Amino acid sequence: MKNFENQILIIADHASNFIPRENNKLGLSNSFLNHHIAFDIGVKELSMDLSNRLKCKIIQGKYSRLLIDLNRDLDDPTAIPVIVDRKIIPGNIGITKREISLRVKKIYNKYHDEIDQTIRKKKVKVILSIHSFNPIFKNKKRYLELGILSNEDKRLSSIIIDQLRLQKINVGDNKPYKGNLIGDSMYRHGLRNNLPHVLIEVRNDLLSNTSKIKRISRLLHKTIAKSLKKLA
- State how far the Cα of 119 lies from the Cα of 9, in Å rounded to an integer: 8
Share of residues in the chain with pLDDT > 90 (%)? 94
Asked if 102 contacts 44 with a C-beta cutoff of 8 angstroms, the reply is no
Instruction: Give me the residues paired with residue 174 across strands.
Output: none
Query: What residue spans define the domains of the chain?
Result: 2-231
| Mean pLDDT value across residues 67-74 | 98
Q: Which of 66, 58, 76 is nearest to 39 (CA)?
A: 66
Cα angle, residue 35 at apex, residues 34 and 39 outer, rounded to 5°: 85
- Helix 43-54 crosses helix 210-231 at what angle (to 10 degrees)? 50
| 189 band by pLDDT with thresholds 50, 70 and 90 | very high
Burial code (b: 16+ CB inside 10 Å, e: under 16) for 191-205 equals: beeebbbbbbbbbbb
Return d(Cα 78, Cα 74) in angstroms, integer: 9
Q: In what order do the strands lie in the sheet with 146-149?
A: 57-60, 8-12, 126-133, 197-203, 146-149, 171-173
pLDDT in tens, 119-129: 999 999 999 99
CA dist., res. 144 & res. 135, Å (int): 8
pLDDT tens for residues 90-121?
Answer: 999 999 999 999 999 999 999 999 999 999 99
Q: Convert the pLDDT of each residue in 127-140 to its tens digit.
A: 999 999 999 998 89
Residue 1 pLDDT > 80, yes or no?
A: no
Q: What is the DSSP string of 33-67?
A: HTSTTTS-TTHHHHHHHHHHHHT-EEEE--S-TTT
**pLDDT tens per residue across span 18-43:** 999 999 999 999 989 999 999 999 99
Q: Which CATH superfamily is domain 2-231 in?
A: Zn-dependent exopeptidases (3.40.630.40)
